């Protein structure tokens, strides 16, 4: 009798243990299944957000291009004279370094007048900003190793330049958008390009190694690409174009320390510029990029 009683207790004990195992196994399976569903939903949500951002960007670009198409295809000479002192042609046809310098000096004097601050010297502010940016370049690789690093890289310009100077730059980009293309052409030709006028000025503005970091930031990093996506289409296209030119210079000087493949970026820049309708020097940009495409083919 005692033996039977023991057998019954053993059977009950194992039944309870088995039931518990099955219960916890099902609970774990249910939890795992729920996590899989949540992961799938989160992935779908991210894809939707990315596609939504792309559609918003495409819509904004279309609106800007339609607006530019109705307003202008080239900058009026009166506006050029107001900002740069005298009319100019294609960026590669400006006659002398002295003329380029005069245009740049006129541009800074124009900005000083617009600020209505007698103590303002925009040229000095510009040089200080370039020095600060060169001293603290952004991350081109490794920004995704942790969330803090990614957030710091996304806020790079705000951290380095601070609010007042960021607001000033935003104001210039917003109110002087129509002269941005000519201004960037002059600055690149005078300070940065292979045939720039003064090597000493190039180093004062920003050494090529730091320029390479910023070109790589815009072309390669998540933060740089995100930054350009938030800009207007003209600023984005020109930033991509000049970043490619700086990368090309860096490759020629054996300074491509991150091993960036320029070929894909040339194609992207060409595609972006081809879809712009308000660029006065569009043909010049496309010819230059086509030359680079053959160079790296």
Residue 74 token pair? 């080239």
Mean pLDDT of the region 216-232: 93
Question: How much is the average pLDDT of 24-34?
Answer: 55
| Gap between the terminal Cα atoms of the chain | 92
* Residue 296, C-beta contacts closer than 8 angstroms, at least 6 positions apart: 262, 263, 266
**What pLDDT shows up at residue 266?**
96
Determine contact, residues 89/280, Cβ cutoff 8 Å: no
Task: Give the predicted TM-score (pTM) of the model.
Answer: 0.72
C-alpha to C-alpha distance for 16 and 18, rounded to whole angstroms: 5
pLDDT tens digits, one per residue of 114-145 = 877 777 788 899 989 999 999 999 999 999 98
Residue 17 pLDDT more than 70?
Answer: no
At residue 69 the predicted structure's pLDDT band, cuts being 50, 70 and 90, is very low
pLDDT at 64: 53
Question: pLDDT band at residue 72, thresholds of 50, 70 and 90?
Answer: very low
242-259 pLDDT per residue, tens: 999 999 999 999 999 999
Which of 221, 125, 124 shows the shortest CA–CA distance to 167? Answer: 125
SS (H, E, C) the chain: CHHHHHHHHHHHHHHHHHHHHHHHHHHHHHHHHHHHHHHHHHHHHHHHHHHHHHHHHHHHHHHHHHHHHHHCCCCCHHHHHHHHCCCCCCHHHCCCHHHHHHHHHHHHHHHHHHHCCCCCCHHHHHHHHHHHHHHCCCCCCCCCCCHHHHHHHHCHHHHHHHHHHHHHHHHHHHHCHHHHHHHHHHHHHHHHCCCCCCHHHHHHHCCHHHHHHHHHHHHHCHHHHHHHHCCCHHHHHHHHHHHHHHHHHHHHCCCCCCCCCHHHHHHHHHHHHHCCCCCCCHHHHHHHHHHHHHHCC
pLDDT at 218: 97
Helix axes 282-295, 262-274, angle to 10 degrees: 160
According to the model, what pLDDT value does residue 94 have?
A: 46
pLDDT for residue 77 is more than 80: no
pLDDT for res 249: 94
Cα distances (Å, whole numbers) of residue 245 to 9, 41, 269: 83, 41, 11
Cα–Cα–Cα angle for 138, 250, 201, rounded to 5 degrees? 80
Domain boundaries, the chain: 1-71, 75-295
Nearest 5°: the CA angle 182, 188, 191 is: 130
Gap between the Cα atoms of 130 and 140, Å rounded: 18
C-beta separation of 91 from 189 below 8 A:
yes
In the chain, what percentage of residues exceed pLDDT 90?
A: 36
Local confidence band at 59 (pLDDT 50, 70, 90 cut-offs): low
Please tell me the distance from the alpha carbon of residue 113 to that of residue 110, in angstroms, as a whole number. Answer: 5
Give, in order, the Cα–Cα distances in Å from 270 to each of 116, 210, 221, 275.
39, 24, 19, 9
């Amino acid at each position: 009798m005692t033996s039977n009683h023991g057998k019954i207790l053993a059977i009950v004990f194992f039944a309870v243990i088995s039931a518990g195992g099955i219960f916890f196994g099902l609970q774990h399976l249910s939890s795992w299944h729920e996590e899989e569903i949540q992961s799938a939903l989160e992935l779908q949500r991210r894809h939707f957000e990315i596609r939504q951002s792309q559609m918003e960007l495409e819509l904004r670009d279309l609106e800007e291009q339609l607006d530019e198409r109705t307003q202008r295809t080239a900058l009026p000479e009166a506006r050029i004279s107001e900002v740069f002192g005298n009319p100019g042609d294609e960026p590669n046809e400006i006659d002398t370094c002295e003329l380029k310098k005069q245009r740049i000096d006129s541009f800074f004097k124009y900005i000083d007048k617009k600020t209505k601050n007698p103590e303002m010297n925009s040229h000095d502010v510009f040089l200080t900003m370039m020095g600060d940016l060169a001293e603290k370049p952004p991350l081109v690789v490794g920004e995704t190793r942790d969330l803090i690093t990614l957030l710091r890289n996304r806020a790079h310009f705000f951290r380095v330049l601070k609010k007042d100077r960021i607001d000033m730059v935003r104001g210039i980009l917003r109110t002087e958008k129509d002269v941005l293309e000519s201004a960037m052409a002059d600055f690149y030709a005078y300070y940065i390009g292979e045939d720039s006028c003064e090597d000493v000025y190039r180093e004062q503005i920003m050494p090529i190694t730091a320029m390479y970091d910023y070109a790589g930031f815009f072309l390669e990093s998540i933060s740089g690409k995100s930054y350009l996506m938030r800009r207007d289409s003209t600023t984005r296209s020109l930033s991509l174009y000049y970043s490619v030119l700086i990368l090309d210079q860096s490759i020629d000087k054996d300074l491509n320390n991150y091993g960036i493949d320029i070929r894909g970026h040339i194609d992207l820049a060409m595609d972006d510029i081809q879809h712009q309708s308000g660029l006065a020097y569009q043909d010049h940009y496309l010819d230059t990029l086509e030359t680079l495409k053959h160079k790296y083919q």
